[in-house]
A = this chain, B = another copy of it.
Amino acid sequence: MNIQTKKEYFNEVLRLESGRILSEFELVYETYGERASDDSNIIVICHALTGSHHAAGKYDESEPKPGWWDALIGDGKCIDTSKYFVICVDILGSPFGSTSPLSIEPNKNAQYRLRFPVLAISDVVNAQMRLFKRLGIKKVRAIIGGSLGGMQALCFAIEHPDFARNVVSMASTYATQPWAIAFNKIAMHAIKNDPEFKGGYYDEKQVAKNGLLGLEVGRIAGHISFLAPASMERKFARRYVGTDGLYELFGRYEVDRYMEYNGANFAKRFDPLCYLYTIKMMNNFDTTRHYGSLTAALSKVRSQLTLLSFSGDMLFFPSEMKTIADELKALGKEYYYEEIESDYGHDAFLVEIPKIENHIRKAIQ
Protein backbone atom coordinates (compact mmCIF):
# COMPACT_ATOMS: atom_id res chain seq x y z
CA MET A 1 0.00 0.00 0.00
CA ASN A 2 1.31 3.40 -1.02
CA ILE A 3 1.18 5.72 2.05
CA GLN A 4 1.87 9.40 1.49
CA THR A 5 1.97 11.88 4.38
CA LYS A 6 1.82 15.52 3.30
CA LYS A 7 1.33 19.00 4.67
CA GLU A 8 -0.38 21.92 2.94
CA TYR A 9 -0.05 25.54 4.02
CA PHE A 10 -2.95 27.89 3.34
CA ASN A 11 -2.08 31.55 3.23
CA GLU A 12 -5.72 32.53 3.26
CA VAL A 13 -8.38 33.41 5.79
CA LEU A 14 -10.66 30.74 7.20
CA ARG A 15 -13.80 32.31 8.66
CA LEU A 16 -15.00 30.33 11.63
CA GLU A 17 -18.46 29.60 12.95
CA SER A 18 -17.62 31.69 16.03
CA GLY A 19 -17.12 34.81 13.90
CA ARG A 20 -13.38 34.68 14.49
CA ILE A 21 -10.85 33.81 11.80
CA LEU A 22 -7.70 31.83 11.22
CA SER A 23 -5.64 34.14 9.02
CA GLU A 24 -3.57 31.19 7.84
CA PHE A 25 -3.54 27.49 8.56
CA GLU A 26 -1.86 24.20 7.80
CA LEU A 27 -3.29 20.74 7.31
CA VAL A 28 -1.46 17.45 7.52
CA TYR A 29 -3.06 14.60 5.63
CA GLU A 30 -2.36 11.11 4.49
CA THR A 31 -3.32 9.22 1.34
CA TYR A 32 -3.40 5.54 0.52
CA GLY A 33 -3.58 4.01 -2.96
CA GLU A 34 -3.63 5.72 -6.35
CA ARG A 35 -5.99 8.44 -7.48
CA ALA A 36 -7.92 7.47 -10.62
CA SER A 37 -7.64 9.86 -13.56
CA ASP A 38 -11.39 10.45 -13.49
CA ASP A 39 -11.44 10.94 -9.67
CA SER A 40 -14.04 8.21 -9.36
CA ASN A 41 -12.26 6.35 -6.56
CA ILE A 42 -11.73 8.96 -3.84
CA ILE A 43 -12.79 8.11 -0.30
CA VAL A 44 -12.43 10.55 2.59
CA ILE A 45 -11.95 9.18 6.11
CA CYS A 46 -12.75 11.44 9.07
CA HIS A 47 -10.97 10.67 12.30
CA ALA A 48 -12.39 10.69 15.83
CA LEU A 49 -11.60 12.73 18.94
CA THR A 50 -7.99 11.68 19.49
CA GLY A 51 -7.23 10.16 16.12
CA SER A 52 -5.04 11.58 13.38
CA HIS A 53 -4.44 11.48 9.66
CA HIS A 54 -2.59 8.19 10.17
CA ALA A 55 -5.57 5.92 9.51
CA ALA A 56 -3.90 2.86 8.05
CA GLY A 57 -0.64 1.02 7.41
CA LYS A 58 2.76 1.41 8.97
CA TYR A 59 5.41 3.87 7.86
CA ASP A 60 7.97 1.16 8.43
CA GLU A 61 8.20 -2.17 10.16
CA SER A 62 9.53 -0.68 13.38
CA GLU A 63 6.24 1.14 14.01
CA PRO A 64 4.57 -0.72 16.88
CA LYS A 65 0.96 -0.23 15.70
CA PRO A 66 -0.51 0.55 12.30
CA GLY A 67 -2.93 3.45 11.70
CA TRP A 68 -6.14 3.51 13.74
CA TRP A 69 -8.48 2.00 11.13
CA ASP A 70 -5.97 -0.39 9.58
CA ALA A 71 -8.35 -3.34 9.99
CA LEU A 72 -10.72 -1.63 7.56
CA ILE A 73 -8.38 0.17 5.13
CA GLY A 74 -5.69 -1.48 3.02
CA ASP A 75 -4.95 -3.54 -0.06
CA GLY A 76 -7.68 -6.15 -0.40
CA LYS A 77 -9.49 -4.92 2.71
CA CYS A 78 -13.00 -3.54 2.92
CA ILE A 79 -11.85 -0.07 1.91
CA ASP A 80 -9.54 -1.54 -0.69
CA THR A 81 -6.56 0.70 -1.35
CA SER A 82 -5.73 -1.26 -4.49
CA LYS A 83 -8.99 0.15 -5.88
CA TYR A 84 -9.65 3.33 -3.92
CA PHE A 85 -7.68 6.49 -3.28
CA VAL A 86 -8.19 7.17 0.43
CA ILE A 87 -7.54 10.51 2.14
CA CYS A 88 -7.55 11.23 5.87
CA VAL A 89 -6.96 14.79 7.06
CA ASP A 90 -5.67 15.66 10.53
CA ILE A 91 -8.33 18.04 11.84
CA LEU A 92 -7.63 21.59 12.92
CA GLY A 93 -7.02 21.64 16.65
CA SER A 94 -5.29 18.26 16.64
CA PRO A 95 -1.85 17.93 18.22
CA PHE A 96 -0.58 15.83 15.31
CA GLY A 97 0.46 18.54 12.89
CA SER A 98 -2.45 20.62 11.62
CA THR A 99 -2.94 24.14 12.99
CA SER A 100 -3.78 23.98 16.69
CA PRO A 101 -3.52 25.94 19.95
CA LEU A 102 0.17 24.98 19.90
CA SER A 103 0.82 26.64 16.54
CA ILE A 104 2.56 29.98 16.30
CA GLU A 105 0.01 32.78 16.07
CA PRO A 106 0.67 34.90 12.98
CA ASN A 107 2.41 38.18 13.82
CA LYS A 108 2.73 37.24 17.49
CA ASN A 109 5.80 35.08 17.47
CA ALA A 110 4.20 32.95 20.17
CA GLN A 111 1.86 30.00 20.39
CA TYR A 112 -1.86 30.69 20.36
CA ARG A 113 -2.53 28.72 23.54
CA LEU A 114 -5.80 30.07 24.98
CA ARG A 115 -6.03 32.73 22.28
CA PHE A 116 -6.77 29.99 19.77
CA PRO A 117 -10.36 30.31 18.58
CA VAL A 118 -12.89 27.65 19.55
CA LEU A 119 -13.48 25.54 16.46
CA ALA A 120 -16.69 23.93 15.28
CA ILE A 121 -17.14 20.72 13.32
CA SER A 122 -18.18 22.91 10.39
CA ASP A 123 -14.82 24.71 10.60
CA VAL A 124 -12.73 21.55 10.44
CA VAL A 125 -14.91 20.40 7.56
CA ASN A 126 -14.51 23.74 5.74
CA ALA A 127 -10.75 23.49 6.16
CA GLN A 128 -10.82 20.03 4.60
CA MET A 129 -12.85 21.44 1.69
CA ARG A 130 -10.08 23.99 1.10
CA LEU A 131 -7.58 21.17 0.89
CA PHE A 132 -9.76 19.17 -1.50
CA LYS A 133 -10.17 22.27 -3.68
CA ARG A 134 -6.42 22.76 -3.80
CA LEU A 135 -6.00 19.13 -4.78
CA GLY A 136 -8.54 19.63 -7.53
CA ILE A 137 -11.04 17.24 -5.94
CA LYS A 138 -14.56 18.35 -6.83
CA LYS A 139 -16.50 15.30 -5.75
CA VAL A 140 -15.72 12.14 -3.85
CA ARG A 141 -17.13 8.67 -3.90
CA ALA A 142 -17.62 8.51 -0.15
CA ILE A 143 -16.94 10.11 3.21
CA ILE A 144 -16.74 7.78 6.19
CA GLY A 145 -16.33 8.49 9.87
CA GLY A 146 -17.21 7.32 13.37
CA SER A 147 -17.89 9.34 16.53
CA LEU A 148 -16.42 12.84 16.02
CA GLY A 149 -15.61 11.59 12.50
CA GLY A 150 -19.27 10.68 12.07
CA MET A 151 -20.15 14.27 13.03
CA GLN A 152 -17.82 15.54 10.31
CA ALA A 153 -19.35 13.11 7.81
CA LEU A 154 -22.85 14.33 8.66
CA CYS A 155 -21.68 17.94 8.45
CA PHE A 156 -20.22 17.31 4.96
CA ALA A 157 -23.60 15.87 3.91
CA ILE A 158 -25.56 18.88 5.20
CA GLU A 159 -23.23 21.76 4.40
CA HIS A 160 -21.57 20.48 1.24
CA PRO A 161 -24.41 18.45 -0.25
CA ASP A 162 -22.86 17.95 -3.69
CA PHE A 163 -19.44 16.92 -2.53
CA ALA A 164 -19.92 13.26 -1.63
CA ARG A 165 -21.97 10.63 -3.40
CA ASN A 166 -22.13 8.51 -0.23
CA VAL A 167 -21.73 9.47 3.38
CA VAL A 168 -21.31 6.96 6.21
CA SER A 169 -21.74 8.20 9.77
CA MET A 170 -21.26 5.74 12.62
CA ALA A 171 -21.58 5.81 16.41
CA SER A 172 -22.41 9.47 16.34
CA THR A 173 -25.28 11.89 16.84
CA TYR A 174 -27.09 14.85 15.31
CA ALA A 175 -26.32 17.00 18.37
CA THR A 176 -24.20 16.13 21.39
CA GLN A 177 -26.44 15.34 24.33
CA PRO A 178 -25.88 16.34 27.99
CA TRP A 179 -24.77 12.80 28.90
CA ALA A 180 -21.73 13.09 26.58
CA ILE A 181 -21.11 16.70 27.60
CA ALA A 182 -21.05 15.59 31.24
CA PHE A 183 -18.37 12.99 30.49
CA ASN A 184 -16.31 15.69 28.81
CA LYS A 185 -16.83 17.91 31.85
CA ILE A 186 -14.63 15.58 33.88
CA ALA A 187 -11.70 16.35 31.57
CA MET A 188 -12.60 20.01 31.24
CA HIS A 189 -12.76 20.51 35.02
CA ALA A 190 -9.75 18.35 35.85
CA ILE A 191 -7.48 19.93 33.24
CA LYS A 192 -8.54 23.54 33.70
CA ASN A 193 -7.95 23.37 37.45
CA ASP A 194 -4.81 21.25 37.38
CA PRO A 195 -2.07 23.48 38.84
CA GLU A 196 0.37 22.04 36.28
CA PHE A 197 -1.89 23.26 33.46
CA LYS A 198 -0.90 26.77 34.51
CA GLY A 199 -3.90 28.38 32.87
CA GLY A 200 -2.88 26.92 29.50
CA TYR A 201 0.74 28.07 29.67
CA TYR A 202 2.24 24.78 30.86
CA ASP A 203 5.65 23.61 29.76
CA GLU A 204 4.92 21.35 26.79
CA LYS A 205 7.99 19.20 27.20
CA GLN A 206 7.40 18.59 30.86
CA VAL A 207 3.75 17.74 30.30
CA ALA A 208 4.69 15.38 27.46
CA LYS A 209 7.23 13.71 29.74
CA ASN A 210 5.18 13.38 32.93
CA GLY A 211 1.65 13.57 31.61
CA LEU A 212 -0.85 16.01 33.09
CA LEU A 213 -2.96 14.50 35.89
CA GLY A 214 -6.09 16.32 34.67
CA LEU A 215 -5.71 14.80 31.22
CA GLU A 216 -5.14 11.33 32.68
CA VAL A 217 -8.33 11.64 34.69
CA GLY A 218 -10.25 13.01 31.71
CA ARG A 219 -9.07 10.13 29.58
CA ILE A 220 -10.18 7.59 32.18
CA ALA A 221 -13.65 9.13 31.99
CA GLY A 222 -13.40 8.92 28.20
CA HIS A 223 -12.50 5.24 28.34
CA ILE A 224 -15.52 4.49 30.51
CA SER A 225 -17.77 6.12 27.92
CA PHE A 226 -16.03 4.23 25.08
CA LEU A 227 -16.61 0.86 26.72
CA ALA A 228 -19.78 -0.75 27.99
CA PRO A 229 -20.75 -2.74 31.07
CA ALA A 230 -20.73 -5.96 29.05
CA SER A 231 -17.35 -5.33 27.44
CA MET A 232 -15.81 -4.48 30.82
CA GLU A 233 -17.35 -7.62 32.27
CA ARG A 234 -15.75 -9.70 29.51
CA LYS A 235 -12.42 -7.88 29.61
CA PHE A 236 -11.92 -7.56 33.37
CA ALA A 237 -14.75 -9.12 35.37
CA ARG A 238 -13.83 -8.61 39.06
CA ARG A 239 -10.23 -9.74 38.61
CA TYR A 240 -7.80 -8.13 41.01
CA VAL A 241 -4.19 -7.21 40.26
CA GLY A 242 -2.17 -10.14 41.57
CA THR A 243 0.52 -8.09 43.26
CA ASP A 244 -1.93 -5.76 45.04
CA GLY A 245 -3.72 -6.53 48.28
CA LEU A 246 -7.51 -6.68 48.27
CA TYR A 247 -7.54 -4.69 51.51
CA GLU A 248 -4.97 -2.10 50.48
CA LEU A 249 -6.70 1.21 49.95
CA PHE A 250 -4.91 1.75 46.63
CA GLY A 251 -4.96 -1.90 45.62
CA ARG A 252 -6.36 -2.24 42.11
CA TYR A 253 -8.84 -4.27 40.16
CA GLU A 254 -7.76 -5.12 36.64
CA VAL A 255 -10.18 -2.50 35.35
CA ASP A 256 -8.38 0.05 37.55
CA ARG A 257 -5.03 -0.97 36.10
CA TYR A 258 -6.36 -0.67 32.55
CA MET A 259 -7.71 2.81 33.21
CA GLU A 260 -4.53 3.92 34.96
CA TYR A 261 -2.28 2.58 32.23
CA ASN A 262 -4.28 4.04 29.37
CA GLY A 263 -4.81 7.35 31.12
CA ALA A 264 -1.10 7.76 31.82
CA ASN A 265 -0.06 6.72 28.31
CA PHE A 266 -2.54 9.02 26.68
CA ALA A 267 -1.45 12.01 28.74
CA LYS A 268 2.07 11.54 27.35
CA ARG A 269 1.02 11.45 23.73
CA PHE A 270 -1.82 13.98 23.53
CA ASP A 271 -1.73 17.64 24.33
CA PRO A 272 -4.10 18.96 27.05
CA LEU A 273 -5.03 22.17 25.23
CA CYS A 274 -5.73 20.30 21.99
CA TYR A 275 -7.88 17.91 24.02
CA LEU A 276 -9.90 20.78 25.49
CA TYR A 277 -10.46 22.39 22.09
CA THR A 278 -11.51 19.08 20.57
CA ILE A 279 -13.99 18.14 23.30
CA LYS A 280 -15.41 21.66 23.14
CA MET A 281 -15.91 21.12 19.40
CA MET A 282 -17.69 17.86 20.17
CA ASN A 283 -19.89 19.47 22.85
CA ASN A 284 -20.88 22.27 20.50
CA PHE A 285 -21.86 19.96 17.64
CA ASP A 286 -25.49 20.60 16.81
CA THR A 287 -26.66 20.17 13.22
CA THR A 288 -29.80 22.15 13.99
CA ARG A 289 -27.98 25.35 15.01
CA HIS A 290 -28.04 27.17 11.70
CA TYR A 291 -31.16 25.61 10.29
CA GLY A 292 -33.67 25.90 13.10
CA SER A 293 -34.51 22.23 13.13
CA LEU A 294 -33.10 18.83 12.30
CA THR A 295 -35.64 18.49 9.49
CA ALA A 296 -34.46 21.75 7.92
CA ALA A 297 -30.81 20.70 8.26
CA LEU A 298 -31.36 17.25 6.77
CA SER A 299 -33.47 18.61 3.94
CA LYS A 300 -30.15 19.89 2.48
CA VAL A 301 -28.73 16.38 2.16
CA ARG A 302 -28.22 15.03 -1.36
CA SER A 303 -25.68 12.31 -0.59
CA GLN A 304 -26.79 8.77 0.03
CA LEU A 305 -26.54 8.51 3.82
CA THR A 306 -25.62 5.33 5.68
CA LEU A 307 -26.12 5.55 9.43
CA LEU A 308 -24.78 2.86 11.71
CA SER A 309 -25.31 2.77 15.45
CA PHE A 310 -24.27 0.13 17.97
CA SER A 311 -26.67 -1.32 20.50
CA GLY A 312 -24.22 -1.12 23.40
CA ASP A 313 -22.90 2.39 22.69
CA MET A 314 -22.89 4.23 26.03
CA LEU A 315 -21.70 7.57 24.64
CA PHE A 316 -23.89 8.21 21.60
CA PHE A 317 -26.95 6.04 22.05
CA PRO A 318 -28.59 4.30 19.07
CA SER A 319 -31.70 6.41 19.62
CA GLU A 320 -29.69 9.46 18.54
CA MET A 321 -28.80 7.98 15.12
CA LYS A 322 -32.33 6.65 14.87
CA THR A 323 -33.60 10.22 15.23
CA ILE A 324 -31.64 11.16 12.10
CA ALA A 325 -32.96 8.11 10.24
CA ASP A 326 -36.55 8.93 11.21
CA GLU A 327 -36.19 12.49 9.95
CA LEU A 328 -34.68 11.32 6.66
CA LYS A 329 -37.56 8.93 6.25
CA ALA A 330 -40.10 11.68 6.91
CA LEU A 331 -38.27 13.81 4.32
CA GLY A 332 -38.46 11.00 1.77
CA LYS A 333 -34.66 10.85 1.44
CA GLU A 334 -32.80 7.73 0.45
CA TYR A 335 -30.84 6.40 3.40
CA TYR A 336 -29.81 3.22 5.12
CA TYR A 337 -29.92 2.87 8.89
CA GLU A 338 -28.95 -0.07 11.02
CA GLU A 339 -28.48 -0.58 14.72
CA ILE A 340 -25.73 -3.18 14.90
CA GLU A 341 -25.86 -5.58 17.83
CA SER A 342 -22.67 -5.17 19.79
CA ASP A 343 -21.65 -5.13 23.41
CA TYR A 344 -18.33 -3.43 22.68
CA GLY A 345 -19.79 -0.04 23.50
CA HIS A 346 -18.85 3.10 21.60
CA ASP A 347 -15.54 1.54 20.54
CA ALA A 348 -17.50 -0.88 18.36
CA PHE A 349 -16.85 1.31 15.28
CA LEU A 350 -13.14 0.63 15.79
CA VAL A 351 -13.24 -3.03 16.77
CA GLU A 352 -16.35 -4.66 15.30
CA ILE A 353 -14.94 -4.57 11.77
CA PRO A 354 -16.64 -7.80 10.59
CA LYS A 355 -20.00 -6.31 11.56
CA ILE A 356 -19.53 -3.03 9.67
CA GLU A 357 -17.63 -4.21 6.58
CA ASN A 358 -20.66 -5.22 4.54
CA HIS A 359 -22.46 -1.98 5.28
CA ILE A 360 -19.44 0.04 4.22
CA ARG A 361 -18.85 -2.10 1.14
CA LYS A 362 -22.42 -1.45 0.03
CA ALA A 363 -22.18 2.24 0.82
CA ILE A 364 -19.08 2.80 -1.33
CA GLN A 365 -20.06 0.59 -4.28
Contacts and interface: CB of A to CB of B under 8 A. Distances in A.
A114 B251 CA distance: 13
Contacts of A49: none
B193 A256 contact: no
A189 B219 CA distance: 11
Given A189-B260, A216-B189, A249-B277, A255 B181 contact: yes
Contacts of A195: 195
Contact of A181 (B20, B181, B256, B283): B256
Interface residues on A, range: 35 or more
Given A188-B250, A247-B18, A238 B178 contact: yes
A41 to B, nearest CB: 38
B217 A247 contact: no
B233 A118 contact: no
Contacts of A181: 238, 253, 255-256
A287 to B, nearest CB: 12
Contact of A217 (B114, B186, B232): B186
B220 A256 contact: no
Contacts of A280: 249
A194 B213 contact: yes
A177 interface: yes
Contact of A233 (B178, B192, B255, B256): B178
A127 to B, nearest CB: 16
A163 interface: no
B247 A183 contact: no
Interface in A28-75: none
A276 interface: yes
Given A195-B195, A317-B229, A263 B189 contact: yes
A247 B189 contact: no
A17 interface: yes
Interface in A205-246: 213, 216-217, 220-221, 223-224, 227-229, 232-233, 235-238, 246
Nearest to A195: B195
A182 B238 contact: no
Contacts of A188: 250, 256
A259 B220 contact: no
A103 interface: no
6 smallest A-B Cβ distances: which pairs?
Answer: A18-B247, A178-B232, A178-B255, A179-B229, A118-B247, A178-B236
